[in-house]
Structure 1
Amino acid sequence: MKISTEETQIIKSVLRHVENGTTDMQPEVMENPVSNYTDPENLQREVDVLFRKFPIILGHHEQLAEPGDFFTNDDTGIPILVTRTNAGEVKAFMNVCRHRGARLTDKPCGKSKTFSCPYHKWTYDLEGRLRGLPHAGGFGEIDKSELGLVELPAFERFGLIWVRPSVSDGPFDLAAWIAPMEEQFKGLSMETHTVYKQWSLPRKMNWRLALEGFQESYHFCGAHEHTACAAYLDNQSVFLDKYPHVRHAVPLPTVVALKDQPEAEWDHRRNFLTQNYVFPCNYVQVQTDHIYIHTIIPTGVDTCIFKCMMLIPEAPKSEKAEGYWAKNYDVIRTVFNEDFEIGENIQKGLSTGANTHFLFGRYEIGLHLGRKAIDDALAGTLTTASVCAANAVP
């Protein structure tokens, strides 16, 4: 497969770093206040802005394979119902009846032609329209069209399901929002993948600590000394600023052999782990032959939920294939757990006063870029509208 100009430049950068004993660097270190991980008011602002005003990856198209398929999600604090309509569109609604506010369904997923409130049986179709209510005469001349489910912006792109958990900011263009990652994501063919495993892990740590574990590779040979360390070049990642997103390419030792091969024969994916930060809380983590979708959402100032979906090219068709993917699943769970145990230990020490600021090193570039995007969003200078305008096709 022909690689992109961007991937060719990534390989060249790594080969230069290997030859010169260097790595990507920021001009200065960055101080990050510890209060970013401990302040309840700061967390509330993050929830109100980051987890309401921006789209979040909530699923894979396989979960909505046919009309009537649905799944629910409560992680952001907004009860969300996502379904596929008879016309094949993905729709998302608040999972809240318009009569007295009862949840329409508590099922995590399923298939249904309609959704009926368990309290008084007000019934809605897959488009969210109110279709029926018992003893309608008791409500006079109500306008059913004004009592449909509250719809949330929902999108299907690159085989992933995206939802913005708020209607307050009006419509926006997801294609423009994610345009900086378009070339890479389009080439991954995630829409043809299948979900091998998905899991949720509640953790006792601020959501930013979990987020930051994917934004640098400086820690690999410390936290993962006996697991992931040997699998990658030590602290020689390449970072591409895709504001507000980030492409973080972590090279495997095999990349060194490419220096003796013609560029036309180079293969990027076989030689890199790519940790794509999709602002504000997702990662599309590209392994050499499969993909993980991570979502990190705060549940408190010192707690969060980490959700992961493992996508593989096709369902296992043999015991050998099943064993291969099961081994990959076990490895990633082990490595993640090493990160999370350290993150939880960090959280325990935040209230001691030992640190008022953390230092982000010059080569911890993903931390710099990630914090800048978050700060800009909280300050109101980064919005979906501003990014979409910057990426709009003339």
Structure 2
Amino acid sequence: MATQPRSDVHDDPDAGWSLPAWTYSDPDFFQAEVDRVFRPSWQIVCHESDVPQVGDYHTLDYIGESVIVVRGEDRVVRAFTNVCRHRGARLVDGPSGCASRLTCPYHAWSYDLKGALTGLPLSQTYAGLDRAAHGLAPVQVEIWQSFIFVRLEDDGGPSVAEMMQPYAAEVEPYRFADMRAFGRVTLRPRDVNWKNVGDNYSDGLHIVVAHPGLTRLMGNGYTVEAMEHVDKMAAPIRDRLSNNPSERAYQAILPDVAHLPEDRKRLWTYFKLWPNFAFDIYPDQVDFMQWLPVSPTETLIREIAYAVPDDRREMKAARYLNWRINRQVNAEDTWLIKRVQDGMASKSFTVGPLSETEVALRNFCRKMRGLIPEARLHHAPAPGWSRRPRVQG
């Protein structure tokens, strides 16, 4: 089953076609994406439980920016660019930590947990300096279902809650607020454009071809639908046992999860949110996956799993088996997306036709063409086009 997004009913001569191959390696297009897609988009950082105490912080580095999310003395979670206002030095290193104040290691300028400049060595030598105007640069924060998101620029786009509103009732039973991380954040570099990672994630047609394990688990039950800002993929785990040991054991061991409705106790659901992150929701755990652009042909995949605490041996085994199954799926997808990236380098390929069932890919391409109209061109414009002033329609 596939559902067409309501916004796709408008006539569009390119509606049935993929984005052109040049957009997956072109430096100008990449810069346009940074400016028009990523700076105004929400990015997931961590869960509230990852910063439980005053001074706990997590960082996120992407598109040349570093953002620090920190819990203040008033228990409020705030975000700032991880940059000292004196000479631009990075304030903290590493993915996480705890600090009573943020002190620059270069000249010891210090900031409290609300971002205010509180420590200024040789303050008498900065004649007329307005300390209030030199606090840390704030970054917009949203907490949705206890997950913490940041946005560098507000272009009037929807909140995460608004994006996920069509599926709010489906997510509610999973008790996201009660979840805790198990394991660490995994970073996996890939030599592909970020869009190839996302395209593959939302592509339902390749499941039966390239993922035999998922097919053994789900049969032909995999469905794809697209809303304006979210794609949904889902399939129930079959009762018929797989002949693969890990898959068969998962099917047999997966215990009852009392807080889930009956129709979700053996359902795998995937939500991909615009533009580059997803929640993989299983009965036993929830993973987030984020594909961060590094260059036109490099991407960093960032992911971690969370779960409601459950000490049952069967649940611990199910979570381990889930990891084994999906490790194989990740290996298969890594091989696939590299083949696509390499194939797109051929001058023989420009755009590809999209089936009417490929609603998620159609939706993504439509949004990209709306933000970057040059994506309608089958061949790249002359270099430098992304730095020229945009013509307002």
TM-score between both structures, scaled by the size of structure 2 = 0.81
**Range that drifts further, 29-38 or 152-161:** 29-38
Contact preservation (8 Å) 2:191, 2:297: yes
Name the SS for the 1:326 alignment partner: helix
**Range that drifts further, 105-114 or 371-380:** 371-380
Q: Is residue 2:323 matched to residue 1:329? A: yes
Distance in 2, matches of 1:131 and 1:183, equals 44
Distance in 2, matches of 1:177 and 1:266, equals 23
TM-aligned CA deviation for residue 169 of structure 1? 4.0
Residue type at the aligned position of 1:289? D
Contact preservation (8 Å) 2:284, 2:315: no
Question: Which of 250, 275, 280 is equivalent to 2:275?
Answer: 280
What's the C-alpha RMSD, in Å, of the aligned pairs? 2.6
Distance in 2, matches of 1:268 and 1:189, equals 16
Question: Which of 86, 90, 93 is equivalent to 2:80?
Answer: 93
Residue type at the aligned position of 2:77? V
Q: Which residue of 2 aligns with 1:142?
A: 129
TM-aligned CA deviation for residue 47 of structure 1? 1.2
Distance in 2, matches of 1:251 and 1:325, equals 17
Deviations 1:94-118 (A, max 9, x none): 1000011111111321111100000
Q: Which residue of 1 aligns with 2:349?
A: 355
TM-aligned CA deviation for residue 29 of structure 1? 4.2
Identity fraction in percent: 24
CA 1:365–1:137: 2 relative to 1, 3 Å: same
Q: Is residue 2:74 matched to residue 1:55? A: no
Distance in 2, matches of 1:276 and 1:296, equals 14
TM-score between both structures, scaled by the size of structure 1 = 0.80
Deviations 1:253-282 (A, max 9, x none): 459xxxxxxxxx973323432111111111
Contact preservation (8 Å) 1:97, 1:117: yes
- Count residues in correspondence: 345
TM-aligned CA deviation for residue 171 of structure 1? 9.7
Question: Which of 195, 203, 212 is equivalent to 2:199?
Answer: 212
TM-aligned CA deviation for residue 318 of structure 1? 6.3
TM-aligned CA deviation for residue 33 of structure 1? 1.6
Q: Which residue of 1 aligns with 2:186?
A: 199
Distance in 2, matches of 1:141 and 1:113, equals 28
Distance in 2, matches of 1:134 and 1:170, equals 39
In structure 2, list runs of 5 or more residues that go unmatched: 10-14, 241-259, 375-393
CA 1:278–1:88: 2 relative to 1, 3 Å: same
CA 1:171–1:92: 2 relative to 1, 3 Å: farther
Name the SS for the 1:74 alignment partner: strand
TM-aligned CA deviation for residue 212 of structure 1? 1.4
Q: Is residue 2:238 matched to residue 1:244? A: no
TM-aligned CA deviation for residue 232 of structure 1? 1.3
Q: Is residue 2:57 matched to residue 1:70? A: yes
Q: Is residue 2:9 matched to residue 1:24? A: no
CA 1:303–1:173: 2 relative to 1, 3 Å: closer
Name the SS for the 1:359 alignment partner: coil
- Please give the residue correspondences for 1:1-394 in structure 2 after superposition, counting only pairs within 5 Å: 23-24=1-2, 29-166=16-153, 169=155, 174-197=160-183, 198-225=185-212, 227-234=213-220, 236-239=222-225, 241-254=226-239, 267-314=262-309, 317=311, 321-378=315-372
CA 1:174–1:215: 2 relative to 1, 3 Å: closer
TM-aligned CA deviation for residue 199 of structure 1? 0.7
Distance in 2, matches of 1:354 and 1:112, equals 55
Distance in 2, matches of 1:131 and 1:53, equals 30
Distance in 2, matches of 1:204 and 1:127, equals 38
CA 1:170–1:284: 2 relative to 1, 3 Å: same
